[in-house]
Amino acid sequence: MKVLQLALMLALICGFAAISAYINGISQFSVSRRYQLTDEDTEALLSLHDTFEKCVSANGLGLKAAKGSDYCQTTINFPSDTIPKWKDPKTGELESLSFDFNLCEAVATWEQVRNSTTILTKEFIDSLPNGWEEYAWRRINKGILLNRCQNKTLCMEKLSLVLPETPPYFPRQFGRCAVIGNSGDLLKTKFGKEIDDYDVVIRENGAPIENYTEYVGRKSTFRLLNRGSAKALDKVVELDEQRKEALIIKTTIHDIMNQMIRALEFALSMCDSVDMYGFTVDPGYKEWTRYFSESRQGHTPLHGRAYYQMMECLGLIKIHSPMRADPNRVVKWVPSNHMIRDARIASEKLLGRVGAGSVNPLSACSIIKRQVKRNPDTISKLRKAAQDHMRYVKSSTMYPLEHNPGHGLLCTVPAAK
């Protein structure tokens, strides 16, 4: 197992620079459909808004949500006596106390994430029209100045060697997952033992464990790295006391939603439930700090807190912080699965998504290709929830098509017998 983890780690790290850019668009898959909303669709979106507002009011520690100008828009407001600390580096203006979000976009996209494979693979690029000539090369070309990757053919050959052939992880592969941030508020509550009870613990960058275990726990399953941390790999490896971490470069994860933390995208794509520690900023917390070092410049704590509250009130995550320290805390007014399903269907129609309104999970597939042969032992050893999901999607693998106007999927289906 350790050898496999190390191999995956090296593959992803080697491929990091080559695949660091976002796809610039797949225009040939543009969708210009319009779906008529039924009365039931309209009611579903109104019900979601109503429940969402009640949830934010009950759980948001002073935050309030209000309907926007249409079925999708919502605004989350901070109390008027909130004192913002972050300034826009370009304008010098203080952070706003009001933030706009699109609930339709959030519901439709996050539900898609939960059924998708978010790690880039060779299978994915092979399945794209001109994938190696266009998609892969764009990603490589972004790193020319950093990596002197001037031989296009050679660089594509190297990229094909370091990418995993098929998905290393599957939707619903893990049960309870905790994503641990770096906020200084972790030092206010001793969450260590609680964190170690999760099936999977995901940490970020160079956040240390040693000397902080009573606050942040000891367990670490995955560590997601940005470019700077990946360059300091020797220091990152020293953080893994138990030598069991799998390292994932953040830019090897599909990015299909703006203003999101990709650690959450990764976690939500393969976990039944996701809990967050060390991301929020509670009222009265004067300054954004990291629990292990000096203050961090450039964060937008108010926007982040509003965004995470939106996610909690869509039933995607559960927030833990000094003011939400009870592990048995119940998040009130979370929309039911039935409500989310109906709102998702309505949102897909309103947004003109590929396959909107269909009960067939493969209806969202803009591209369908035959799969690379899978190892049956890998699938048979998955937990029941993952196997149930595989049956639901008819053993297909779904990949997001980044920046695709219709937000369709690239789906690989089992080879014909």
Question: What is the largest distance, in Å, between two alpha-carbon atoms of the chain?
Answer: 66
Q: What is the DSSP letter of 93?
A: P
Q: Strand pairing partners for 136?
A: none
Highest mean predicted confidence (pLDDT) among 110-114, 152-156, 281-285, 297-301: 110-114
Q: Please enumerate in sequence order all residues whose Cβ is within 8 A of that of 127, keeping only pairs 6 or more positions apart, or say none.
A: 367, 369, 399, 410, 412
pLDDT exceeds cutoff 80 at 5 = no
Where residue 141 falls among pLDDT bands split at 50, 70, 90?
A: low
In DSSP terms, which residues pair with 177 in a beta bridge? Answer: 200, 274
Q: What's the token pair of residue 322?
A: 């000094």
Categorize the per-residue pLDDT at 19 as very low, low, confident or very high, splitting at 50, 70 and 90: very low
Measured CA to CA, the distance from residue 42 to residue 33 in angstroms comes to 18
d(CA 372, CA 382): 19
> Which SS3 state, helix, strand or coil, does residue 5 take?
helix
Q: Which of 147, 151, 184, 204 is closest to 321 using CA atoms? A: 184
Residue 96 has pLDDT above 60, yes or no: yes
pLDDT at 417: 60
Name residue 154's amino acid: L
Runs of H (alpha helix) within 296-336: 301-312
Residue 36: name the closest of 354, 358, 352 by CA. Answer: 352
Pairing label, strands 98-102, 246-249: unpaired
Q: pLDDT per residue over 143-190, tens digit each?
A: 544 455 667 777 777 777 778 999 999 999 999 999 999 888 899 999
Q: What is the pLDDT at residue 13?
A: 44
Which amino acid is present at 395?
A: S
**Distance, CA of 314 to CA of 308 (rounded, Å):** 10
Q: Give the mean pLDDT of the chain.
A: 83
The tokens describing 309, both together, are 């509250």
Residue 21: what pLDDT?
Answer: 36
C-alpha 167/C-alpha 152 separation (Å) is: 25
- How many Cβ atoms are within 10 Å of 331's Cβ, its own excluded? 15
**Which of 108-112, 281-285, 297-301 is least confident?**
297-301
Bridge partners (DSSP) of residue 67 are: 74
Which region among 91-95, 225-229, 347-351 has the lowest average model confidence (pLDDT)? 225-229
Predicted TM-score (pTM) of this structure: 0.86
Q: Which of 111-115, 195-199, 259-263, 400-404 has the highest mean pLDDT?
A: 195-199
| 30: confidence class by pLDDT, cuts 50, 70, 90 | very low
